Amino acid sequence: MKQIIISILLLVVTYNLRSQEGDTNIIDLQEVIVIATRTEKQLIDIPAQVDMIKAAEIKSFPVSNIDDILKTTANVQVNRSWGIFSKNAAVSMRGLEGSDRVLVLIDGIPKNSLVGGSVNWHNVFIDNLQKIEVVKGPVSALYGNNAMGGVINMITKIPEKKLEGSVKTFYGTYNTYGVSAAISGNEVKDEKGCYWSFNGVYRHGDGYVFEAPAYIDETDVRTALDEAGGSVKVGYRFNTNNHVELLVDNYNEKRGGGTKVFTEEGSYDKVYTNNLRATYYAKAGKAEVVTSLFWSKEDYYSQKESMNDFAEYRLMDVYSNRTDKGISSILSLPVIHNQLLTAGLDFKSGSAHNHETYRTSPDEIVTLGNMEIVGLFLQDEASFLQNKMKAIVGLRLDAANFHDGAQTITNPTKATGFTESFHEDFSSNNWLAFSPKASLQYKLRPNDAVYISVGVGFKPPKLKELCQSGKINKGFRLANPNLKPEYLTNYEMGYTHVWEKKWTLTTAVYYSFGHDFQYSVSTGDSVDTGGDALKPVLIADNIGKVEIGGIELSSSYLLNDQLSFQLSYSYNHSIITEYKSSLVDVTIDLAGKEMAEVSPNLFYAGMTWKNRFFEMNLNGNYVDSQWYDPENTILIDDYFILNAKVSKAFYKHYYLAIEAQNLLDNQFVDRKGQVSPGRFMTAIFMYNF
């Protein structure tokens, strides 16, 4: 309650201060934002909490992976505790645990896999991004599944010059080195012609031992990595009103698992990712249509080996094939004066084939599953009172179908926890999701606006929870083909201030409640999977209700051409209010417990200083303590990270930078009980032409 009162007072005080400045402050923004309404808008015209990160900011920030830059955004929590050696990052928003409650897009096309809801952040080419747009709060009325906490849209560059390019090389801590190259061209003349670009990258790192020093034994080894990829974009403009764009990218990576017993390579993960995106932009009169096709294929291979306390050796292979594809078409049409209709159709399809083979026992597990989601949405945007007031009302209907799910277990032993061979065909599962949203904005002045909104977001069940039984870190999970979506309803009020290009301030107070939240609940049984103790048998079920109250604030200030500042803060109080299961008798009631893996307080502050000698970025972010488990018995410590980057462009073509992530060498322990890499230094040299 204290944080909410402070936020309301901040709104009032800020407005009073700005009211005394006179009417000479005119908004002068060149950048537009698409993600919040699926149509181009300036920040002051959006009734939501929105951030935009430009390419220049990405370049000046110490970034090893693109998700690093998201730490600058209020109320976005990024968990990449092993740095570049992490298998991936978990990005969450607004007091919600799990990265599958945030929808991630690239050029408006979803990156979340229907199999696990996760996002592969590695195969995003940092130097190819024009900007990143972030909108917070449920946006399922426009985007459908996974858009509960918010949406992140990464927009790739369109070449501007006839020919340009760069070559970059870098070297850093843990013998990390690599090279990237980019070349592009634009032959468009009189709104007709072709543009193209190519990006390629390679990176290697020897890694480090992430096990805590007190627990290191002879099987713990470094988490080395090797990764390489490339992308090609080609676009053609037929005329002012029509153009088409095609993008193909490929990314291959191998990351060590930190354990080696007998095999030469030890435990490791390999991922081969291929993406294809095609988009057609058309305009006829006042109507605009954007139609996109996408196809993504991920081949995952893992080798896992271990030795338990009873000197029992385990070696297994996991192969997974995951495919996502779909189509999206959006129509925007001004119907009368100051009214805009936006309508669209989205179709997504996901399939999974998972094969586990144990080489030290006869166990073999094969899992199959398929899911389709089709969504229709309509949004009406109208302005009143000489454009001082704006109302946006949207509604979306999504229909999903899970089918052809099956699992086959052959020759099981305690290594997998199954007691006998069997084959099971899972029943199909169908459901509908309604996602309404309404917003009302009022402009107090041309550069000050307040808004209120209410909206619903939803997250579908993951394919692997619908059809895959087997061992997980916390026990043994049973498939639940009858799992349903979870929903979150959000009430919000906020304020936006934009003063020329000097100062931007956005802040909001919100209350959310969710129902049918998906949790893994114990069945009361346990199995012997060959470890030190029996493991609990778990099953995912729609058993939870949650409440989240929070505030967030984000501000950027340009003092002059040389010095700028950035500040963000968020507070979330995330509580489980009901915990009931229709499948099993719940032995531990989690009602009243805080949601696990949610840090109540997040803080970020940054400064960029440019002068004729160099450019320097200094920033720090604080992540509050969080509960490891739903029972709230283990608390993960809070931590503060300070980062710095100094760069210099010289002789027109050359660029040199030194960056330090975790400058103070704060080696914190993550929620898996493993140690972060500490200070990570990188030297960068680039040649531009």
Mean pLDDT of the chain: 89
Mean pLDDT along residues 266-277: 95
Show the tokens assigned to 665. 């060498």
pLDDT-derived band at 530, boundaries 50, 70, 90: low
Whether residue 165 is predicted with pLDDT greater than 90 in this model: the reply is yes
Whether residue 5 is predicted with pLDDT greater than 70 in this model: the reply is no
Mean pLDDT along residues 361-379: 94
Q: Do 166 and 127 form a contact (C-beta atoms < 8 A)?
A: yes
Q: Do 457 and 135 form a contact (C-beta atoms < 8 A)?
A: no
Mean pLDDT along residues 108-125: 88
For the chain, what are the domain ranges?
2-688
Q: Do 89 and 121 form a contact (C-beta atoms < 8 A)?
A: yes
Region label for 142, one of left (φ > 0), alpha (ψ between -120 and 50) or beta (otherwise):
alpha
Show the tokens assigned to 141. 């009325």
Most distant pair of Cα atoms in the chain: their distance: 79
Q: How many CA atoms lie within 13 A of 531 on its CB side?
A: 16
Q: What is the pTM assigned to this prediction?
A: 0.92
How does pLDDT run across 330-366, given as a tens digit for each residue? 999 998 888 999 999 999 999 999 999 988 889 899 9
Distance CA 569, CA 75 (A): 7
pLDDT-derived band at 30, boundaries 50, 70, 90: very low
pLDDT given for residue 23 in this prediction: 36
Mean pLDDT along residues 458-484: 87
Mean pLDDT along residues 405-415: 89
Distance CA 32, CA 57 (A): 16
Strand-pair category, 615-623 with 601-610: antiparallel
CATH of 2-688, one of 2.40.170.20, 3.40.50.1170, 3.30.450.40, 3.40.50.720: 2.40.170.20
Mean pLDDT along residues 121-126: 88
3-state SS, residue 265: coil
How does pLDDT run across 580-606, given as a tens digit for each residue? 888 887 778 889 999 989 999 999 999
Phi first, then psi: give them for residue 18, nearest 5 degrees.
Answer: -70, -30
